[in-house]
Structure 1
Amino acid sequence: MAKITKPLSDREIKAAKSRDKDYVLSDGGGLQLRVRAHGSKLWNFNYIHPITKKRVNLGLGAYPDVSLSKARELRQTNRQLVTEGIDPKAYKQEAIAKQKAQTEHTLFNVAQQWFEVKSDSITADHAKDIWRSLELNVFPDLGQLPIKKISAPYVIDVLRPIEAKGSLETLKRVVQRLNEVMIYAVNCGLIDTNPISGLKSVFKKPQKENMKALAPNELPELMRAVANASIKKTTRCLIEWQLHTITRPSEAAGARWEEIDLERKVWTIPAERMKKRREHSIPLTSESIALLEAIHPLSGHREFIFPSDRDPKKPCNSQTANMALKRMGFEGRLVSHGLRSLASTTLNEKGYKSELIEAALAHVDNNQVRAAYNRTDYLEQRREMMSWWSRNIREAAQGSLSVTSTSYSSLND
């Protein structure tokens, strides 16, 4: 005859004293109260796993926080799960995970984790631009939504106003970045699939425009405009520095004196400041060095070659040259990034080897295998090409007061 367990009473539970070792009081049906040696009393539900058929203990909480009557309710709930072939412990863990997902795995929190990884492979300026676009266009409406509740229809409704304003380039970038966050969530096991993978097909596509740049024969016009413009000396030097070194706006604006090696005549930009996170060395021509000599009285005692007016301890804004070109009347014809295109076109027309031009532009070979084996930056081979390019700029500036011209000695006053 099966042994019948006498149900526990509150009086019996309260009277239970600790002993040298833990011991168990049974209420029947798998409900047990474990009295610990240090005095605490913990409820357990002891059951046979529906699949493995092994004995399992599931903690239900401590007495008196969980009363006898509440413990019996929990026993009944868990017995029903076992009857249905469900493991109560796994069921509880899944419920906790779901609750955690509601509070911890919001789009904002997941985006922060993704951004921490993303930031290691991009420049600081680009990282700032990415996060700002999410702050403005995504987080206000979607930030606190659990990642599992992100859906295409909801995201479309949130992003439609950007499309309505005609900001299609912004929209394209936001959709791309939001997709990267969702793919990160998939890879982390937070969601099974990316529900917005086809989102870009829903919106209008921006018209692709070529980088606004001048033709090689328009370089003299540019040099005249720079010479006659009512701009600060720092800005004039920055524009010509970017032109002579063929660097990106952010790379030129953030140049530091410590990056310059006058003995070797090389400017080395560290990997963390480069778009492709790869160190870039640039041969310095006599004209480039003349630029440094011209700006040295203003910033030689500071960290940055082109310091900000508002805070000289920081570099000038990467858009400084761009805004100056607009004020000179080049809006719609030239952006500061287009100075690289002007150089590239000129050097290609001159017949220089494409690998030297690509190295000067700090372009990384899209063929990853080939790039892995070809580590040379053609530094010495580029010296002659860069010298020709600087001479070409100087010749285009004849009759104008360029920074590198000896007739522009007033800059050093």
Structure 2
Amino acid sequence: MPISDIKVRNLKSKDKPYKVSDFEGLFVLVKVSGSKSWRFKYRIDGKEKLLVIGDYPAVSLAQARQTRDAAKAQLAEGIDPNEAKQDEKRARLETKGHTFEKIGAALLEKQRKEGKTKATLDKTEYHLKLANQDFGRRPITEITAPLILKTLRKVEAKGNYETAHRLRARIGSVFRYAVASGIAETDPTYALRDALIRPTRVHRAAITDPKALGRLLNEIEGFDGQSTTRIALKLLALLAQRPGEIRHAKWSEIDFVAKVWAIPADKMKMRRDHVVPLPAQALALLNELRRMNGNGEYLFPSLRTWKRPMSENTLNAALRRMGYSGDEMTAHGFRASFSTLANESGLWHPDAIERALAHVEKNEVRRAYARGDHWEERIKLADWWAGYLDRVKAM
């Protein structure tokens, strides 16, 4: 005869444990201590087994019957309820080990092995730290889009709209890594694509007026700071490469005989090898620099240690020291100066200018046919640009 909740509640302890049956194998075990535990007795493969369901009153009579019915359904399919319970427990423990923080760390390690640049690794680490503060210890399968959005809104509230977008992308990369690893099923950041404030794109300040550029070059010539900083700025203007590529340049990449600077793909933004022709003016500066620190690894080592390149703030700080604000000129702006003035000259094929800047054609069809790198024209372009800078300095 089935028992009632009142009867279970009023069961008293005895000198020995005893059980009171409900029906269809379900019973409650009353222990000497007075605690009551639900059990389900069943047979599978000719053997009698016992499934421990849980203690009363945490598990009510109705809940115990539901568990008993679910176990009977498993038995009908040939599944042992005890084994299924252990499998579920193992899955839960495994899920708890798959936290966002641990998966993010695995992705970061993968990027290190792939040879990602230090700048990329640093940005990944920074973004993961922001995310880990809020939900790093949570199992990745429990992290939802609203939870991620709450973190992104905190970044937005500080006016850092670009950072919020990049953080969303970085969190998404962790989820996609988890999906590929069979740990998660979806990437919840996909639903947040339109949830964030779009940042206003601000182009880096650059001087494109020839006379103003000439004045800047003369200011650099008279720069009273570190000689290596002065040379770095002059090479930045001459070669029109990214400031990070100048700062991280190594002597092993410079070929004085062939008159080229070969930048390996892992240092380039577009992850493609890039060769820069060196005009006579650049070679003269490099020879001057070689007399200063040619025995080291980097062209522009840090003042603190020769094992690291100069700080990323050095070149912009030098421009500020010369009186140029961030709204007037930036270290990256020399590329825009070169691009604008070279294109305005009408002397050079636009593709040669783009190759000189290490830009990649966005149109896939056009890129497939534009396989040449305009090398001979780029050599002439480099010489012309160096001469052009000499002329605007003399204006």
Classify the TM-score, shorter chain: 0.7 to 0.9
Offset at 1:93? 3.6
Q: Does 1:388 align with 2:380?
A: no
Offset at 1:361? 0.8
1:213 maps to a residue whose letter is A
8 Å Cα contact 1:266-1:283 kept in structure 2: yes
2:338 maps to a residue whose letter is A
Cα distance between partner residues in 2 of 1:86 and 1:323: 73
**2:352 is matched with which residue?**
356
**1:111 is matched with which residue?**
104
Which residues of 2 match residues 4-403 of structure 1 at below 5 A?
A: 47=44, 72-73=50-51, 80=72, 82-83=74-75, 85=77, 87-88=79-80, 92-103=86-97, 105-118=98-111, 120=114, 122-135=116-129, 137-217=130-210, 218-330=212-324, 331-351=326-346, 352-368=348-364, 371=367, 374-398=370-394
8 Å Cα contact 1:122-1:277 kept in structure 2: no
Q: Name the TM-score, length of structure 1 as normaliser.
A: 0.73
Cα distance between partner residues in 1 of 2:307 and 2:115: 25
Cα distance between partner residues in 1 of 2:52 and 2:376: 78
2:339 maps to a residue whose letter is S
8 Å Cα contact 1:281-1:379 kept in structure 2: no
2:351 maps to a residue whose letter is E
8 Å Cα contact 1:307-1:315 kept in structure 2: yes
Spell out, residue by residue over 1:91-146, the C-alpha distance to the aligned partner (whole angstroms, 9 max, x if none).
6445423321111x1111111233344453743212212212322x2111211111
8 Å Cα contact 1:114-1:181 kept in structure 2: yes
2:360 maps to a residue whose letter is V
Cα distance between partner residues in 2 of 1:286 and 1:279: 23
Q: Name the TM-score, length of structure 2 as normaliser.
A: 0.77
Offset at 1:173? 1.4
Aligned length: 335
1:363 maps to a residue whose letter is H
- Is there any run of 5+ residues in structure 1 with no aligned partner, and where? 1-28, 30-44, 49-54, 58-68, 400-413
What is the root-mean-square deviation of aligned Cα atoms in Å?
A: 2.9
Cα distance between partner residues in 2 of 1:46 and 1:339: 81
Residues 348/122 of structure 1: CA separation in 2 closer, same or farther (3 Å cut): farther
Spell out, residue by residue over 1:344-396, the C-alpha distance to the aligned partner (whole angstroms, 9 max, x if none).
11111112111111111111222446545654333222100010011111222
8 Å Cα contact 1:106-1:146 kept in structure 2: yes
**2:61 is matched with which residue?**
none
Spell out, residue by residue over 1:225-255, the C-alpha distance to the aligned partner (whole angstroms, 9 max, x if none).
2123332111111111122111111111011
- Is there any run of 5+ residues in structure 2 with no aligned partner, and where? 1-24, 26-41, 54-66
2:99 maps to a residue whose letter is T
Cα distance between partner residues in 2 of 1:159 and 1:233: 43
Offset at 1:318? 2.8
Residues 349/47 of structure 1: CA separation in 2 closer, same or farther (3 Å cut): farther
1:259 maps to a residue whose letter is E
Residues 153/86 of structure 1: CA separation in 2 closer, same or farther (3 Å cut): farther
Cα distance between partner residues in 1 of 2:318 and 2:161: 26
Among the aligned pairs, what percent are the same residue?
32
**2:11 is matched with which residue?**
none
Offset at 1:172? 1.9
**1:15 is matched with which residue?**
none
